[in-house]
Amino acid sequence: MEKEHKYFSKFLSYTLRHHPEKIGLTLDNKGWADVNELITKMNAHNAALTMDILETIVASNDKKRFAFNDDKTKIRASQGHSIPIDLDLQPVTPPAILYHGTAQQNLESIRANGLLKQSRQHVHLSATRETAIQVGSRHGKVVVLVVQTKQMHEAGYTFYLSDNHVWLTDHVPAEYIEK
């Protein structure tokens, strides 16, 4: 069951964050998909997703990657999109520092250019060193950078907190980054 949920969770991330068109799905401008349409279209693409499985994934996913609307007729990813959608994020005052986990091989370029959002809509920052280690390990030999977010905020940079508590911003200039 675990394995099956992981498969669906990956398929959902791909569909709801990056390529809804691959299964013929359309998201609205806030990233919401119609739940019945999503199930039907995933079923047509060899994924035997059901409402029960979807409810379990939304409730138990380790990072709470997906959220339903109030009456569970719609679902969206809470962050991580590469397609332009409006998550209705409100600016939030960040803590004094946040962390960013990355791979050793990115360091030189990060020192030169700061943290860039690459293919996503935002730069992702973590509240704890532990989370940053998990995020960075996906890319290679992990390095945890400390970002002086209070200083950035005071200098006028905007921060957002996704529904599943990932800190987001547009760009982190190199001068606010410490190793």
Q: How far is the CB of 32 from ligand HQG (least distance, A)?
A: 18
- Residue pointed to by tokens 């986990």: 101
What's phi and psi for 62, nearest 5 deg? Answer: -55, -30
Computed over its alpha carbons, how large is the radius of gyration of the chain?
A: 17
Q: How many residues bind ligand HQG (CB under 6 A)?
A: 19
Q: How far is the CB of 55 from ligand HQG (least distance, A)?
A: 19
3-state DSSP assignment of residue 88: coil
Which one of the spans 19-27, 45-53, 91-99, 112-120 is the region binding ligand HQG (CB under 6 A)? 112-120
Binding mask 120-149 for ligand HQG (x = CB under 6 A): x---x----------x---x----------
What residues form DSSP beta bridges with 65? none
Instruction: Write out the DSSP string of 10-31.
Output: HHHHIIIII-GGGGT----TTS
Q: How far is the CB of 134 from ligand HQG (least distance, A)?
A: 7
Q: Which is nearer to ligand HQG, 36 or 105 (CB)?
A: 105
Using the CB atoms, write b or e for 149-167: b if 16+ within 10 Å.
beebbeeebebbbbbbebb
Of residues 63 through 82, those in contact with ligand HQG by CB under 6 A are 63, 65, 80
Q: Which residues of the shown chain bind ligand HQG in the complex (CB under 6 A)?
A: 13, 63, 65, 80, 102-103, 106, 109-110, 113, 115-116, 118-120, 124, 135, 139, 166
